[in-house]
Structure 1
Amino acid sequence: MMLDNLALFLRIVEKGGLAAAGRDFGLSPATVSERLAALEAHYGATLLTRTTRAISLTDEGRLLVEGARRLVADAEDLENRIRLGTERISGPIRLSAPEDLGRHRVVPVIDAFLIAHPEVTIDLNLTDGYVDLVGQGIDFAIRQGTLADSTLRARAIGEHRRVVCAAPSYLDAHGSPEHPEELAQHLCIVMRFGQNLDREWPFMINGKIRKFMVNSRRIANDGALVRHWCKSGFGIALKSERDVEEDLASGALVELLGEFSASRTSLQIVYPSAIAQPRRVRMLIDELAAALAPTMR
Structure 2
Amino acid sequence: MLLDQLRVFLRICELGSLAAAGRALGLAPATVSERLSALEAHYGANLIQRTTRALSLTEEGRILAEAAPRLLAEAEEIETRLRHGAQEVSGPIRLSAPLDLGRNRVARILEAFQEAHPRVVIDLHLSDAYVDLAAQGFDLAVRYGDLADSALRVRRLAPSARIVCAAPSYLARRGRPERPEDLARHDCLGMRFGALTDSIWPFVIEGKQRQVVVHPRLQANDGGLVRAWCVAGRGLARKAWWDVADDLAAGRLVPLLRAYETPAIGLQLVYPKDRGRIRRVALLIEALAVGFKA
Question: What residue ranges of structure 2 are gaps of 5+ in the alignment?
Answer: none
In 1: Cα distance, 2:84 partner to 2:103 partner: 31
1:133 maps onto 2:168 in alignment: no
In 2: Cα distance, 1:288 partner to 1:78 partner: 25
2:10 is aligned to: 10
RMSD: 2.2
TM-score by length of structure 1 reads 0.90
1:91 is aligned to: 91
1:154 is aligned to: 154
Say if 1:236 and 1:19 are closer, same or farther in 2 by CA, change over 3 A: closer
Say if 1:23 and 1:242 are closer, same or farther in 2 by CA, change over 3 A: closer
Deviation at 1:155, TM superposition (A): 2.2
Query: 2:136 is paired with a residue of what secondary structure?
Result: coil
Note if contact 2:166-2:256 (Cα within 8 Å) is conserved in structure 1. Answer: yes
In 2: Cα distance, 1:86 partner to 1:254 partner: 50
Query: 1:209 is paired with a residue of what secondary structure?
Result: strand
Counterparts of residues 69-148 of structure 1 (less than 5 Å): 69-148=69-148
In 2: Cα distance, 1:234 partner to 1:292 partner: 29
1:242-274 residue CA offsets vs partner (Å, 9 max, x unmatched): 111111111111111122222422112112346
Say if 1:22 and 1:185 are closer, same or farther in 2 by CA, change over 3 A: closer
Query: 2:244 is paired with a residue of what secondary structure?
Result: helix
- Aligned identity (percent) is 57
Query: 2:289 is paired with a residue of what secondary structure?
Result: helix
How many positions carry a matched residue from both structures? 294
The residue type paired with residue 155 of structure 1 is R
Say if 1:159 and 1:47 are closer, same or farther in 2 by CA, change over 3 A: same
TM-score by length of structure 2 reads 0.91
1:176 maps onto 2:176 in alignment: yes
Say if 1:60 and 1:181 are closer, same or farther in 2 by CA, change over 3 A: same
In 2: Cα distance, 1:30 partner to 1:88 partner: 37
2:166 is aligned to: 166
1:267 is aligned to: 267
Deviation at 1:13, TM superposition (A): 2.7
In 2: Cα distance, 1:76 partner to 1:20 partner: 24
Say if 1:71 and 1:251 are closer, same or farther in 2 by CA, change over 3 A: same
Deviation at 1:79, TM superposition (A): 1.3
The residue type paired with residue 230 of structure 1 is C
1:64-109 residue CA offsets vs partner (Å, 9 max, x unmatched): 1222221111111011112112221111111110011000100011
Note if contact 1:154-1:268 (Cα within 8 Å) is conserved in structure 2. Answer: yes
Name the stretch that deviates more: 12-21 or 58-67.
12-21
Question: What residue ranges of structure 1 are gaps of 5+ in the alignment?
Answer: none
Deviation at 1:204, TM superposition (A): 2.2
Counterparts of residues 171-250 of structure 1 (less than 5 Å): 171-250=171-250
1:33 is aligned to: 33
In 2: Cα distance, 1:283 partner to 1:234 partner: 41
Note if contact 1:220-1:226 (Cα within 8 Å) is conserved in structure 2. Answer: yes
In 1: Cα distance, 2:40 partner to 2:155 partner: 35
Name the stretch that deviates more: 247-256 or 190-199.
190-199
Say if 1:283 and 1:275 are closer, same or farther in 2 by CA, change over 3 A: closer
Note if contact 2:66-2:135 (Cα within 8 Å) is conserved in structure 1. Answer: no
The residue type paired with residue 146 of structure 2 is T
Name the stretch that deviates more: 44-53 or 10-19.
10-19
Say if 1:83 and 1:256 are closer, same or farther in 2 by CA, change over 3 A: same
